[in-house]
Amino acid sequence: MSVACVDWVLYNNAMESLGLSLARALHVEGHPVTRGKYENDNSWVMLPEVPRGSRVAVLDSSYRGVNDALVDTCLTLDGCRRAGMREVVLLMAHLPYARSDVHQPRHSYALPLVLSLLQVAGATSIVTVDLHAPQTCGFSRVPMREVTAVPLFADHARRMAIENPVVVSPDLGGTKRAERLARELGVGLAIMKKRRDTTASPHVRELCGGSIEGKGAILYDEEVITGASKCLIARQLLDLGAGSVYGFFTHADLTDEQSYARLLDSDFCHIAVTDTTPVEERIARWGRNPRFVVLSVADTLAGALVT
């Protein structure tokens, strides 16, 4: 029988749905962390009463207002450390600054600093979902593990019974991620190669591997933000002969309602994302649509916390 390696799950109010689902999956208690701001805009947090010496999992994520959320996470970790928790596992469902690549000399690189902040604040280990680059774990000074939503998306694709599916990577950088989903489904892989064209769009994509003619193309990427490039690729896939296009994205860090509307107005016949960000609450305000589905990573995260 699997046993949870934590006794409590503490979660940010914005992540309540995932936090409660995770607590149920682990058969432990789950409680929200109260957060707020003073009149001078400084942040504060209030932890629930947890016995000293407990092992706790702190669930949080990166979403709109990322800097405030990061400070709140650090205050929560520090509060757990000061309260005498024996172990503090940070479940950062969507790691902030994971895509802060260095593009030129003297350009800031925030990721190592962010990981150091989390460690100094009190995290004894970190678990996250679908990193932009797997080597990110090497920057952490505490044990860090990446889990993936690929099996979750594979199960969803099987339930949908997509006709003649093929997995498509939006660029060369996402090939390994898309390749894993293709292996899970036992289907082919196609790759969109990005090149610059000064006479037209600054980024023109061309198919450089695999056949999509008449197939159900599953565009898989780890994040969707504005949706603009994803919608462009969906259109291009249809122009290249795909029978239909599906969008599978782990982190739905949508900028605003316009991004949501753009995806729904696009050529995607179905879009699936996960709840690594509080997207469920946002689309409830914007208006639900059966073509936009949110899958839960509760069991995925729970699997990293059992022995």
Residues annotated as catalytic (active site), given as ranges: 194
Contact predicate 65/96, CB 8 Å: no
Residues 6 or more apart from 107 whose CB is under 8 A from it?
none
For β-strands 125-129 and 87-92, DSSP reports them as: parallel
Kind and range of the H or E run holding 57? strand 55-60
Calpha distance 299→229 (Å, rounded): 30
- In 161-227, where does DSSP find H-type helix? 175-185
With 0-12 CB in 10 A as exposed, 13-18 as middle and 19+ as buried, what is 287? exposed
- The single-letter DSSP state of residue 213 is T
